[in-house]
């Protein structure tokens, strides 16, 4: 039977009324940002569930990166953090220009984007009632790179801890020295190390918290000089990234190379602490070491 000969008589068992094709079907609006893909297990997870779980994937326990402010809120007793040395900011003595933008403008853009004035926030906080000198780096600010202001803030915080006999905690993450400041950035390695040497001579307690990622000059200076080094699970820790090393030595690297668990097995760090337990464990370490 030809297609033109098909006719329907009477009522059809199928109701086609109101059907105007797929274009007429209204797509339900879904707000952006409700879901995110976990980079570890690649499962789509509800963003609110991740936030309520301290930015940890509920399916695979992957630790998402935190902003410096969020980290301070998690570690400090509510409302106890008093920022110090926030007025110390980087200058542009080299008149550095990158991709058509001078360093001063680049620096200002990152400050506005992250609502911080440099890659570290320093101050005094209470951690479960323990008064502590606390510095928290933020990888969102030029990849947590160490510039002259970063080093100066750390040195001043260490000196404050020395003067007041406070325990010192530095949460360390970085992509290395800040190329826009050249040798001025590299000089901060020596400055921070010297301040920590004086702190150590005074009998101070320094705990470093390694978070993902931690590399290059920061790892090679103040981060590695702590009395106790703890890390979050699966944190990438190494002077140079694994791809660079593998390409340089032309060899396959061990499984888990430069991850916190590998470094714990080889004695480079002392403990791995889950983010949910970090505040309590830091307070416990302060108490334990203060009795010695």
pLDDT tens-place string over residues 132-161? 999 999 998 988 899 999 999 999 999 999
**Interval 238-269: pLDDT, tens:** 988 788 888 888 888 888 888 999 999 999 99
Q: Which of 277, 211, 209, 215 is nearest to 242 (CA)?
A: 215
Exposed (0-12), middle (13-18) or buried (19+): which is 288, by Cβ within 10 Å?
exposed
pLDDT of residue 35: 83
Confidence class for position 291, pLDDT limits 50, 70, 90:
low
Strands 97-98 and 82-84 come out as unpaired
Look at the domain 66-290 and name its fold: 2-enoyl-CoA Hydratase; Chain A, domain 1 (3.90.226)
Confidence class for position 127, pLDDT limits 50, 70, 90:
very high
Confidence check: pLDDT of 78 > 80: yes
Orientation angle between helical segments 275-290 and 68-75, nearest 10 degrees: 60
How crowded is the C-beta side of 105, counted as CA atoms within 13 Å?
8
pLDDT of residue 59: 80
Q: Which of 197, 107, 101 is nearest to 150 (CA)?
A: 107
Which of 89-98, 123-132, 168-177, 258-267 has the least mean pLDDT? Answer: 89-98
- Can you give the pTM of this predicted structure? 0.82
pLDDT of residue 11: 41
**Interval 21-66: pLDDT, tens:** 444 444 445 455 788 888 778 778 878 878 777 788 878 878 877 8
> What value does the mean pLDDT of the chain take?
86
Confidence check: pLDDT of 4 > 80: no
Confidence class for position 13, pLDDT limits 50, 70, 90:
very low
**Interval 170-196: pLDDT, tens:** 999 998 888 889 899 999 999 999 999
Q: Which of 156, 145, 136, 233 is nearest to 181 (CA)?
A: 145
List C-alpha distances in Å: 106 to 56, 118, 144: 31, 12, 14
Confidence check: pLDDT of 91 > 90: no
Strand partners, 231: 210, 272
pLDDT of residue 19: 36
């Amino acid at each position: 039977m030809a297609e033109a000969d098909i006719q329907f008589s009477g009522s059809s068992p199928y109701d086609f009324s109101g059907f105007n094709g797929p274009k007429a079907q209204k797509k339900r609006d879904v707000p952006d940002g409700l879901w995110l893909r976990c980079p570890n297990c690649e499962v789509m997870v509800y963003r609110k569930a991740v936030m309520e779980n301290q930015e940890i994937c509920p399916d695979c326990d992957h630790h998402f990166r935190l902003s410096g402010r969020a980290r301070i809120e998690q570690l400090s007793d509510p409302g106890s953090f008093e920022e110090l040395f926030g007025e110390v900011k980087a200058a542009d003595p080299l008149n550095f220009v990158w991709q058509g933008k001078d360093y001063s403008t680049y620096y200002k853009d990152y400050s506005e984007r992250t609502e911080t004035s440099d890659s570290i926030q320093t101050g005094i906080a209470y951690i479960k009632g323990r008064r502590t000198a606390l510095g928290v780096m933020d990888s969102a600010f030029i990849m947590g790179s160490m510039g002259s202001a970063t080093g100066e803030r750390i040195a001043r915080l260490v000196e404050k801890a020395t003067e007041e006999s406070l325990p010192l905690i530095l949460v360390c993450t970085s992509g290395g020295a800040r190329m826009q400041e050249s040798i001025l950035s590299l000089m901060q390695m020596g400055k921070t190390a010297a301040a920590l040497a004086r702190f150590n001579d005074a009998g101070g307690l320094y705990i470093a918290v390694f978070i993902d990622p931690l590399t290059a000059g920061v790892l090679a200076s103040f981060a590695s000089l702590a009395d106790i080094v703890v890390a979050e699970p699966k944190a990438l820790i190494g002077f140079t990234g694994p791809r660079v090393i593998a390409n340089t030595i032309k060899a396959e690297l061990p499984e888990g190379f430069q991850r916190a668990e590998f470094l714990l097995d080889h004695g480079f760090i002392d403990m791995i602490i889950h983010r949910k337990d970090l505040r309590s464990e830091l307070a416990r370490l302060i108490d334990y070491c203060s009795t010695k």
